[in-house]
Amino acid sequence: MKKVKKVTIKGTVKGKRVPSRLLEEEIQEAVEKGARHLHIIANGQHGIGGRIWPRGETIKITVEGPVGQRLGSMGMPGTEILIKGSVSDDVGWINCGAKITVLGDVTNGAHNAAAQGRLYVQGGGGARCDTMTKHNPKHDPPESWYFRDVGDTFAEFKAGGVAVVCGVNPRNPENILGYRPCVGMVSGVIYFRGPIKGYSEADVRLLELSDQDWQWLTANMKPYLKAIDRSEFYEELTRSMDDWKKLVPYTAQERAKRRPFKMSIREFRTGIWEKGVGEGGIFAEYLTHPLTVLPYITTGADRRFRPVWNNMKYAPPCEYGCPSEIPTQKRARFIREGKLKEALELVLQYSPLPATVCGEICPNLCMESCTRTRLDKPVNIKELGRASIDLKAPEPRPDTGRKIAVIGGGPGGLSAAWHLRLEGHSVDLYEAEKKLGGKLEYCIPRGRLPQEILSRELKRIAEIGINIHTGVKVDRKKFNDIYRSHDAVVVACGAHKPRKLDVPGVRDMVSAYDFLRDINTGRLPDLKDKKVVIIGAGNVGMDVAAQAFHCGAKEVTAVDVQKPAAFGKELEIAESLGTKILWPRFTEKYVRKERRIYFTDGTSLEADLAVVAIGDMPSTDFLPPAVHTHKNGWIQADEAGFTSDAKIFAVGDVTSLGLVTHAIGQGKKAAKAVHAQLSGRSYYMPAPRPVVPYEKIKTAYYDLRKKGPFRPEAEAERCLSCAVCRDCHMCEAICYYGAISRNAFEDGSYEYVVDDESCIGCGFCAGICPCGIWEMVENI
Amino acid sequence: MEPATRLDNNHELTLKDFPYIVRWRDDRCKRCGRCTAVCPMFAIEPAVIVQRVLRSEGSLPEPKAVRRVVTIIKQSTDIGKYCTGCATCSLVCPNDAIEPEYNPRHKFIFHKNKGGHPYRRGGRRNSPGLSTLDRLRFTRISMLTDPALDAGRHEFRIRTYLGRVLPAEELPLKVADGKLELDRKSGKFIPPVREIYPVMIGSMSIGALSPNMWEGLAMGVTYLNEVEGMPVVMCSGEGGMPRRLLKSRFIKYFIPQIASGYFGWDEIVRAIPEMIEDPCAIEIKYGQGAKPGDGGLLMAHKVLKLIAEIRGVPMGVDLPSPPTHQTKYSIEEAVAKMIQSMYMAWGFRVPVYPKISGSRTAKAVLNNLVRNPYAAALSIDGDDGGTGAAYNVSMDSMGHPIASNLRECYLDLVAQGKQNELPLIAAGGAGKRGNLAANAAALFMLGASAVSIGKYIMQAAAGCFGDEYNRCNVCNLGRCPRGITTQDPRLYRRLDPDVVAERVVEVFKSLDVELKKIFAPMGRSTELPIGMSDGISADDPAIAERLKISYVC
């Protein structure tokens, strides 16, 4: 047997401490030279016994005396170190396989970062022992055995290896693993025996030992106890598996699966929150809705908006724009349904003069408003009016026995008389002139209104049985008679008193009314080669101009104080004939002798004839004082013709100047008001009906169609049916949820309805409805 | 009646004038209408257009025009129906067919004053750039110079004090039987002090917030206290508090606020005899960072049963909170009498502090408070704070940034040796870009004892869409698509209070970790590093000079 070479190395030489560096050199040199058993008497040197590389042999090192930190650090396999006493910090630091036995205590950081090897401790450990230990799969894991207890923060970041804490005679009998062990421990195991006070619950769990654990522990306990000279404790320490527990880290997989909440919010709500504040939470007592969560897309009562099929809620622009309120879209629908006759006849319910007014002289505000204008050109409502010339008079309702007087046979009076008669009332119509028609008959140039058309329509009016009294001038006395003998009086006497122009020579001027009336009654003035000046360049002025040319005038000039108000056909005709329009011109005087009219700006014009066309005023002095009038005689009347005398109504120019269609519309409204009053119904006031916004009518559906002769059928096709359902089924087809359906009724009518439980309130029906019927309203 | 012939696009705005342009993809859309059903602004609507294609399919030119009417999703050019970019449409679209896109060259505020009404909105200052707080870094890292701490391993005590802290020599102490004890007969006022988590949820009222949002926050705060042991507190905002909460033991986690409208205070006062715990503190609001010097108005249409009951007002009336308290005439009088009254309400057991908007006059207020032994703290709300409704001009142009305002107030306290006595609460922009922990820690180191958050928690806990590119920001209209700032049950029921609460817990737990990740490397674990300004630096010399901290580059 080969003799083992023993060497003793001293840490103190001649009373002087050997530096750690020199002691290390000495140890390395001794091993190099074959020493296999070293006895070191240390004096606080650092890192004794580490890094010894005996190439398969065993080096035994016995250490006595005070040792420095990191004894056995970076210890290699084959190195066996026995310390006869306690050691300083970090014993066995990065142990790579050394077997270190400490016959005393280890202080802080024992076996820190140990990767292999073994640490046997006869006493206890300080703080942070067994931290950062590793297990390299190529080698056995490190083991650390502590006989008594260990200090705080034990096994932090432990990443492998076994630690055994036997808990014999601990310094802290209440807690043998110290404060908060195992923080950040990810691998390895800690066997311990004795009481502890908590551990890092986030990292490790406390378990009973398995049979396998027990087998390992009891098998390895014996050599440990022998090494630290405590074999007598074997019985006690291996008496029962139940004395022992182990701490094992959660695996990475387990940690990933772990819920971050100690308590789920639901548990918290029922277990804590609602116990404290009451069921349903802090607001439950104020809320009436279910305390549930709603999705973003909702149906039924939970929708923010819901669609409503507002058929005919709004007025179509044509109807709204027409002062006589003629519903052209209804006519178009009749025509589309093949009911041309009904379509044309419908107009007589609104105006007795469709061919005269709509067809000839009306500026056709309906067409101006027509939505179709936004696409190509308006539906030709004028021609629809013309097409009504041959209609038969409708049958009036049965006689009511009521008597109503209408004073004035112009458009307003005719309209009132027509509608009242159709309701079955007996109507006396008084006209001062010989013929009916008012300004239609007497003022509008025949060129603009062929007399044939007017007389045919006047004939139709007469056919329904109105008692017409022409040539009857109504003065105050006559009015009183009429008032007494009738249930109601509609005053529609118009305005034909020229407005006064307060300038010298006004007496030598002619009023437009007289000028036009004379011509229409056959008293044509001879204006051959004459020069005519018209003061006032409105539409009446333009009619005067046209008539003056027809009477042979050489030159016609219309002047105005402001931008002329003339428009439409009147202006067009007058200009085409050569009328000059000058403005601004303020008339200073007319000197007949000089045949010259002077203006305030110093200019003047030659004028054989001067016509004043600055508007007319009514003559209402036949009325009793109970009827309030404005200055200049205009009767104060509301929209429905009511005056301050409940029995007297007023319509047309006698209330304010307007278009013929205005007078017709007022006549109709007044007739309704009279009828309502006589029927004992409440005060009649036409319900305001908002016009459908143009944006709601989807012109995209329709192709441009500008050409082609007038045909009622073609015009009906062009009508966009604004605000009136055309029953096209687009809404039904677009709804993604199939929420819209059509209900047909026995009488042929129909409606579109929404299934609230399918509808999400997206607005597609409203967005694409060609006629603007569907509307989204707040879902309250 | 307007004639149908019209000017076409005259005076119409182009989509390029709008802040968000809706990108809609015809090829993906199935026309299910989910987007239009949820759009809060009606900025998109279904429409029809006609397409006309000219075809020639033979071997010779043979024109054939084909018309096709198709349905589309159209964006409105009505300024009243502008797209706010909230992207609720994208959220609900099953086909990813729609998305608003920010238009950096918009001219929105040139036009958003129709009817002569200036633009009003919710949110905060529309300034998406870096704030001063974002330009501060934590530069004093302890490695070998100080004990290095480990955020994960070391235990931290992230707490602060709300209440007046008396200096040791002023404490009415006496020695009895060799022990130090309080001399209760001294007659000296010992201010109540609360130990709280240094980041608190700032004042957002019931009314400004929906019941689901408010309860979610309240539940989250209570969970943090009861389950996690984190003493996070929340200020009520000026809108009263529900009876059930007032009478519960959880009231100790809440700070009722009184402001110039005094709404809900008769309800609170009536509840005092039945309260089983004291509230954490009382906040007196004098100003708000988002709209300094301006008041609030809860529109009548929002004053439904819930709000009416809690605020103690009839339903359907406008509720104005004036810009100023109506019976205060001077700083001394105003602050003293309000603080005194509020202390009295709870028998001098509850700390009372005022909140002001960031201002160059903040120091004057502070010095007044220093002399008032009852003042428990001063809360300063900087100009990056949020609001449910304010004029855009107030939000964008009024007010003082919190960083320098807080700093000069803190240094003023230091000069008087009072920095540990009167806590400063900083608010207004903490977490504006999402980095709450860094902003809050910077504020602590500039001198704040606590930081108050509002907008951040709405964004983080409830997914508030609002941002500084003016996204969404329609809190004032009651149309909040998330259900956060609306009283319409159809909208606020989209918000699950339990989820809000869970997010509050997650936010604070993660904030806690992040704060540790800041404090640990700086070697602080036991006390909040209030005023530890040697720990921070600015990347801009002017900022560094103004804040009296170091400059790094």
Q: Where are the beta strands (DSSP E) in B401-507?
A: 424-427, 450-453
What is the distance in angstroms between the Cα of B199 and the nearest Cα belonging to chain A?
Answer: 20
Residues sharing a CB contact under 8 Å with residue A257, sequence separation 6 or more, in sequence order: none
Residues of chain B with C-beta less than 8 angstroms from the C-beta of A365? 1
CA–CA distance, A654 with A641 (Å, rounded to integer): 11
In A23-171, DSSP assigns E strands to: 37-41, 59-64, 79-83, 96-102, 116-121, 143-146, 159-165
B106 and B157 together in one domain: no
CA A748 – CA A339 distance, rounded (Å)? 15
| Mean pLDDT taken over chain B | 93
Domain encompassing residue B111: 15-116
A631: CB partners within 8 A, 6+ apart = none
Residue of A nearest to B6 (CA): A374
Decide if B428 is inside a domain: yes
Q: B450: closest CA among B365, B530, B387?
A: B530
Whether pLDDT at A261 is above 90: no
CA-nearest residue of chain B to A302? Answer: B490
Please state whether the peptide bond connecting residue A584 to the residue before it is cis, i.e. omega within 30 degrees of 0.
Answer: yes
- Judged by average pLDDT, the poorest of A243-257, A497-511, B143-157 is B143-157
In the listed set B81, B116, B151, which residue is the last one of a domain according to the structure? B116
> Is the model's pLDDT at B151 over the cut of 90?
no
Same domain, B342 and B402: yes
3 state SS of B34: helix
pLDDT at B347 over 90: yes
Please determine, for residue A681, whether its predicted confidence score (pLDDT) is greater than 80.
no
What is the spatial distance between Cα B212 and Cα B487, in angstroms, rounded to a whole number? 10
Position B410 confidence tier, pLDDT thresholds 50, 70, 90: very high
Residues 6 or more apart whose CB falls under 8 angstroms from that of A390 comprise none
Spatial separation of the C-alpha atoms in residues B248 and B50, rounded to whole Å:
63
Helical residues (DSSP H) of B94-178, grouped into ranges: 108-111
B535 and B509, same domain (yes or no): yes
The SS3 call for residue B182 is strand
Chain A residue closest in CA terms to B215: A282
Number of domains in chain B: 2
Measured between CA atoms, the residue of chain B closest to residue A690 is B1
Domain presence at residue B393: yes
- The pairing of strands A187-193 and A244-249 is antiparallel
pLDDT tens, residue by residue, B475-512: 999 999 999 999 999 999 999 999 999 999 999 999 99
Residue B480 lies in a domain: no
Angle between helices B402-416 and B436-446 (to 10 degrees): 30
Which residue from B minimizes the CA distance to A691? B1
Q: Report residue A682's pLDDT band, with 50, 70 and 90 as the boundaries.
A: low
Task: Give dist(CA A539, CA A444) in Å, integer.
Answer: 10
Report how far residue B337's alpha carbon sits from residue B346's, in angstroms, rounded to the nearest whole number: 15
**What tokens does B399 get?**
């007010």
For residue B385, what is the domain's CATH number?
A: 3.20.20.70
Query: Averaged over A99-111, what is the pLDDT?
Result: 96
**Would you state the pLDDT for residue A498?**
82
Give me the CATH number covering residue B41.
Answer: 3.30.70
pLDDT at residue A10, rounded to an integer: 95
Query: How do residues A394-424 score in pLDDT, each as one tens digit?
Result: 999 999 999 999 999 999 999 999 999 999 9
pLDDT band at B8 (very low <50, low <70, confident <90, very high): confident
Query: Comparing C-alpha atoms, which of A358, A359, A356 is closest to residue A455?
Result: A356
Task: Give the pLDDT confidence score for residue B239 in this predicted structure.
Answer: 84
Per-residue pLDDT averaged across B397-419, rounded?
96
Looking at the fold, whether B271 and B214 belong to one and the same domain comes out as yes
Q: Considering CB atoms only, which of A184, A286, A760 is closest to B33?
A: A760
Residue B179: inside a domain, yes or no? Answer: no
Q: What are the structural domains of chain A?
A: 105-257 (2.160.20.60), 259-293 (no CATH), 317-391+693-718 (no CATH), 403-496+618-678 (3.50.50.60), 497-617 (3.50.50.60), 726-778 (3.30.70)
Q: Which residues pair with A192 in a beta bridge?
A: A165, A245
From B201, B206, B194, B204, select the one nearest B220 (Cα to Cα). B201
pLDDT of A26 above 60: yes
Which residue among B49, B227, B493 places its CB closest to the CB of A294?
B493
Residues from chain B contacting residue A371 (CB–CB below 8 Å):
4
Q: What is the pLDDT of residue A513?
A: 87
Nearest CB to A374: which of B4, B50, B219? B4
pLDDT the model gives residue A619 = 86
Q: In this predicted model, what pLDDT tens digit does every residue of B56-113 receive, in sequence order?
A: 998 999 999 999 999 999 999 999 999 999 999 999 999 999 999 999 999 999 999 9
d(CA A166, CA A240): 13
**Do residues B303 and B313 touch, judged by C-beta distance below 8 A?**
yes
Cα separation, B91 vs B89, in Å, equals 5
Local confidence band at B149 (pLDDT 50, 70, 90 cut-offs): confident
Asked if A173 and A153 count as a contact pair (C-beta separation under 8 A), the reply is no
Give the pLDDT band (50/70/90) at residue B156.
confident
Q: Which of A758, A747, A756 is nearest to A779 (CA)?
A: A756
Residue A501, both tokens: 């122009």
- Specify if B236 maps to a domain: yes
Residue B170 neighbours by CB distance under 10 Å: 12
Q: How far apart are CA A649 and CA A382, in angstroms?
A: 30
Residues B149 and B94 in one domain: no
Residues B339 and B350: their CA atoms lie apart, in Å, by 11
Instruction: Give pLDDT, residue B5.
Output: 67
- Looking at the structure, tell me whether residues B108 and B147 fall in a common domain: no
pLDDT cut 90: percent of chain A above it = 71
Q: pLDDT tens digits, residue range A753-769?
A: 999 999 999 999 999 99
Q: What integer is the mean pLDDT of A600-621?
A: 89
Among the partner-chain residues A265, A289, A698, the one whose CB lies closest to the CB of B498 is A265
Q: Per-residue pLDDT tens for B213-260? A: 999 999 999 999 999 999 999 999 988 999 999 999 999 999 999 998
Nearest by CB to B211, from A287, A293, A734: name it: A287
Same domain as B145, residue B53: no
The Cβ of residue A591 has, within 10 Å, a number of other Cβ atoms equal to 15
Size of interface A-B (CB pairs under 8 A): 187
Which residues between 493 and 522 in chain B have a beta carbon less than 8 angstroms from any beta carbon of chain A?
Answer: 493-499, 501-502, 505-506, 509
Where is the domain boundary, B116, B142, B177? B116
* Shared domain check, B156 and B72: no
Asked if B78 reaches chain A (Cβ–Cβ under 8 Å), the answer is no
ipTM of the complex: 0.94
C-beta atoms surrounding B279 within 10 Å: 27
Q: Is A85 exposed, middle or buried (0-12, 13-18, 19+ CB in 10 A)?
A: middle
Distances (CA, A) of A126 to A101, A181, A759: 16, 12, 74
Residue B127 lies in a domain: no
CA distance A773 to chain B (A): 14
- Looking at the predicted structure, is the pLDDT value of residue A1 above 80? no
Q: Tell me what the mean pLDDT of segment B414-428 comes to.
A: 95
Residues B440 and B320 in one domain: yes
- Is the pLDDT confidence value at A591 over 80? yes
**pLDDT score of A735:** 96
pTM for this prediction: 0.85
Q: Identify whether residues B380 and B499 lie together within a single domain.
A: yes
Amino acid at A665: G
Residues B457 and B536 both lie in one domain: yes
Contacts of B4 in chain A (CB under 8 A): 317, 368-374, 378, 694
Angle between helices B362-370 and B331-345 (to 10 degrees): 50
pLDDT at B148 (0 to 100)? 66
Longest CA–CA span in chain A (Å) reads 169
pLDDT tens figures, A144-160: 999 999 999 999 999 99
Chain A closest CA to B458's CA: distance in Å?
18
User: pLDDT at residue B377 above 60?
Assistant: yes
User: What whole-number percentage of chain B has pLDDT above 70?
Assistant: 98
Residue B41 lies in a domain: yes
Question: Tell me, what's the pLDDT at A683?
Answer: 66
B445/B335 same-domain check: yes
Candidates A374, A764, A779, A780: best to mutate against B (most CBs of B within 10 A) is: A764
Per residue in A51-77, pLDDT tens? 998 888 999 999 999 999 999 999 999
Around A528, how many Cα atoms within 13 Å sit in the side-chain half-sphere? 1
Question: By the CB < 8 Å criterion, does B71 face chain A?
Answer: yes
Mean pLDDT of chain A: 92
Q: Give the tokens for residue A324.
A: 């006589």
Tokens of A493: 């006497």
Instruction: Report how far apart, in Å, the C-alpha atoms of A632 and of each of A495, A616, A642 are.
Output: 11, 10, 19
pLDDT tens digits along A167-177:
999 999 999 99
**Final residue before a domain boundary, out of B116, B147, B175:** B116
Sign of CA pseudo-dihedral A248, A251, A252, A255:
negative
Question: Per residue in A614-673, pLDDT tens?
Answer: 888 888 888 888 889 888 888 999 888 999 888 999 999 999 888 999 999 999 999 999
The pLDDT of residue B276 is: 96
Q: What percent of chain B has pLDDT over 90?
A: 78
Instruction: Please state, in angstroms and rounded to a whole number, the distance separating the CA atoms of residues B135 and B481.
Output: 33
Tell me the average pLDDT across B276-281.
97
In a domain, B335, yes or no: yes
Q: Which residues of A121-157 are buried (b: 16+ CB within 10 A; e: fewer)?
A: bbbbbbbbbbbbbbbeeeeebbbbbbbbbbbbbbbbb
pLDDT at B408 exceeding the cut of 90: yes
